[in-house]
Amino acid sequence: MTGFPQVQRPFSMNSKKTSPPSPKVYPWGTRDLSAMGALALLTALIWCYAYNRWSAESWRVPLEYGINGADADALGVLAIIRNAANGHFWPLMFKNIPELGAPFGANWNDIPFVEQLIYFFAGLAAKVLGVFAAANLAVLVAYVLSAIAFYLVCRALNCEWHWAFAGALIFAFARYPFERQLHHLQVLFYFCIPPCLLVTWWLSSKVGLRFGERKYWIAISIAAVAGSLHPYYTNMFIQLAGIACLVQFLRGNRTTAYAGLSIIAVSMAVFFALCANVFIYKFLHGANPAGITRAFMWLEFSALKPLDMIMPSPDHRLPMFAGFAQNYFKNVFVPGEVPPGSYLGLVGIAALCWLGFVSLRRMLAQPPILPPLEAWQVLWITLYSVVGGFNCFAGALGILLFRSSNRYSIFILAIVLIYAIRHISTLRLRPAGVYAVLPIAIVIVALWDQVPPPPTPQQISALNEVIQSDRFMVMEMEKKLPKGSMVFMLPLIEFPESPVAGVSSSDHFRPFLHSENLRFSFGGIKGRPEADWQKRLAQMEFRSVVEALENYGFAAVYLNRNGFTDKGEGIVKALAEMNRNHIIESPSGDRLCILLQPSSYPVKPL
């Protein structure tokens, strides 16, 4: 057979008694290329339906704009894409943003942006399509890659192509990505999970991996890609691969163990290479503990709760399911991340039950037989991710890196779906017509269960009105202000992850997304003097603040009314008393800009 190398079935204590019937060999060929093309097209069409993006106008409206609590981080994602489009987000380079953090410029080298390639290519697309359309395209690409990667792995495991096709759609349109969407763009690129699992199964098989063989180089490539994506996925890949290496070492298979360690080393090397700017900047300028803060409580708050994996979403299409979920999330003491994204779906739950039944039957056999490898992996992921699990134990020791361990539910979904597809491919179901129609029926049920109701045209239009209001205001500001003018933003908001009452942590990025030639005070990393100088202004009288800003060269004050109990009227009145009464207001009325009188010879804050 040509094409993908085949993997040995997971080890057991008694392979003769537990191995399923040997499946028919399904060779790789041109049909698979056609299937992947059809899969990509069908995924794109389902995606357009799920997000109601059928027209060019709707594509120019981002999926999220940070106006709701759950999607606040979407503005940060859009700002990164804008920075990449402006040429300030090259991979492996220092991240300095001259349009933000005025008057010094924003220095983002305290933030470990591992997923730089995602934003870099999204920025290239933004130069042609615009930031919002490019962001939507990036989300679509994430779905397509998940479907293609899942299909390829199933075919590498000798699954029938139509079952692999069905599983790919179910995996790509799990509830998990719908609850992440644009505000967690880097989390959406979970296409690496099925290939990473394939590598761990290769490492765990009796044959294992050997240096220099074809599978070894495929595994090296997968590890390199995993190291360039979301650290959560890299972390779990390293854990599962490390456990496999330990098992092989204890078995005496040293060569396989060392090959696995080299694969892990490649993934870690790529990760650290993409974070090199952070380490170098920290070495040159010292640590910044205030830049990104983590607390132990968040590890418990966002830990995996097994019940959440079988709990439907509160907006489920079936009213009975929706009501059940609403009652659950209303009464649970710690609801975790909202909206919840751990739901495995009806098909995923059925696959998990299948794996659990097989494992239980093996353990109760006489003599007892080890459960499948997939069951051990699900067990480890659960023990690591649950409240009070190994991730929380690491947090108690001061390792607070992975606060949202509920994200590892997507690993469990991938494992159980691939397990089910591998074994259903060995069955000889009759009649043949039922066997051909069954995958289609399962996909229809899964999509009905997992895909939320699409946004209505009215909802998209309402979001576009907010965007157009911002765009109009910024256009008016650029007409009144000289090119390169600096705008001071109120209320004072530290960056990142520092919201204030009434204003989300990334809300001040909104005018930046529409500006061509203005500079804004927001966006410098807190804990560094280039950003912390603004704190001193809070201790000064307002007249002195205005005078200081004008001495620094600021030409305007941007005001978000929602950040003030009096909607900013006190500031407007105080500026009017100082004869600063030229006001530009957004059509929505929630933001305004007041022109200042900047010094002709500005100086920078100390």
Candidates 58, 39, 127; CA nearest to 88 is 127
CA distance 301 to 308: 13
pLDDT at site 412: 98
Q: What is the mean pLDDT of residues 136-150?
A: 98
pLDDT in tens, 104-129: 999 999 999 999 999 999 999 999 99
Q: What long-range pairs does 90-93 form, CB within 8 A, spacing at least 24?
A: 90/120, 91/116, 91/117, 91/120, 91/274, 92/116, 92/273, 92/274, 92/276, 92/277, 93/277
Q: Are 85 and 121 in contact (CB under 8 A)?
A: no
Model confidence at 25, pLDDT cuts 50, 70, 90, reads low
Model confidence at 331, pLDDT cuts 50, 70, 90, reads confident
* Residue 489, beta-bridge partner list: 558
> Largest Cα–Cα distance in the chain?
90
pLDDT at site 68: 81
Candidates 73, 212, 47, 71; CA nearest to 136 is 47
CA distance 515 to 505: 19
Model confidence at 211, pLDDT cuts 50, 70, 90, reads very high
* Residue 556, beta-bridge partner list: 487, 595
pLDDT in tens, 414-430: 999 999 999 998 876 66
Question: Is the confidence at residue 314, as pLDDT, over 50?
Answer: yes
Backbone angle region of 189, left / alpha / beta, with phi > 0 → left and psi within -120 to 50 → alpha: beta
3-state secondary structure of 585: strand
* Residue 525, beta-bridge partner list: 495
Residue with tokens 């069951």, as numbered in its chain: 375
pLDDT at site 14: 43
Model confidence at 432, pLDDT cuts 50, 70, 90, reads low
Quote the DSSP letter at residue 304: B
Q: Which residues contact 398 (CB under 8 A, 6 or more apart)?
A: none
Per-position b or e across 388-419, b if 16+ CB within 10 A of its CB: ebebbeebeeeebebbbbbbbbbbbbbbbbbb
Helix (H) or strand (E) holding 475: helix 457-480
Q: Token pair for residue 224? A: 């390199």
* Residue 593, beta-bridge partner list: 558, 584
pLDDT at site 498: 86
pLDDT in tens, 527-567: 998 899 999 998 899 999 999 999 999 999 999 999 999 99
Q: Token pair for residue 184? A: 């967690």
Question: Is the confidence at residue 21, as pLDDT, over 60?
Answer: no
pTM for the predicted model, two decimal places: 0.92
CA distance 376 to 338: 29
pLDDT at site 70: 75
In this structure, the number of other CB atoms found within 10 A of the CB of residue 70 comes to: 15
pLDDT at site 431: 65
Angle at 131 between CA 530 and CA 501, to 5 degrees: 50
CA distance 481 to 85: 23
Beta-sheet pairing, 486-490 with 519-520: parallel
Q: Which amino acid is at 126?
A: A
CA distance 439 to 37: 18
Question: Is the confidence at residue 335, as pLDDT, over 80?
Answer: no
Beta-sheet pairing, 486-490 with 554-560: parallel
Question: Is the confidence at residue 313, as pLDDT, over 70?
Answer: yes
Question: Is the confidence at residue 24, as pLDDT, over 60?
Answer: no
Model confidence at 15, pLDDT cuts 50, 70, 90, reads very low
Candidates 89, 190, 176; CA nearest to 131 is 89
pLDDT at site 380: 97
Question: Could you give the dihedral angle defined by the CA atoms of residues 273, 279, 280 and 285, in that order, rounded to the nearest 10 degrees?
Answer: 160
Concatenated DSSP letters of 73-98: THHHHHHHHHHHHTT---TTS--EET
Q: Which residues contact 41 (CB under 8 A, 6 or more apart)?
A: none
Q: Token pair for residue 14? A: 């008694």
pLDDT at site 486: 97
Q: What is the mean pLDDT of residues 583-596?
A: 95
In this structure, the number of other CB atoms found within 10 A of the CB of residue 332 comes to: 13
Of the candidate ranges 45-54, 70-79, 370-379, the one whose mean pLDDT is the lowest:
70-79
Helix (H) or strand (E) holding 520: strand 519-520
Question: Is the confidence at residue 18, as pLDDT, over 50?
Answer: no
pLDDT at site 433: 67
Percent of the chain with pLDDT over 90: 78
Backbone angles phi, psi at 584, to 5 degrees: -115, 120
pLDDT at site 321: 92
Per the prediction, the chain carries an average pLDDT of: 91
Q: What is the mean pLDDT of residues 244-254?
A: 93
Q: What is the mean pLDDT of residues 254-272?
A: 96
pLDDT at site 7: 43
* Residue 97, beta-bridge partner list: 106
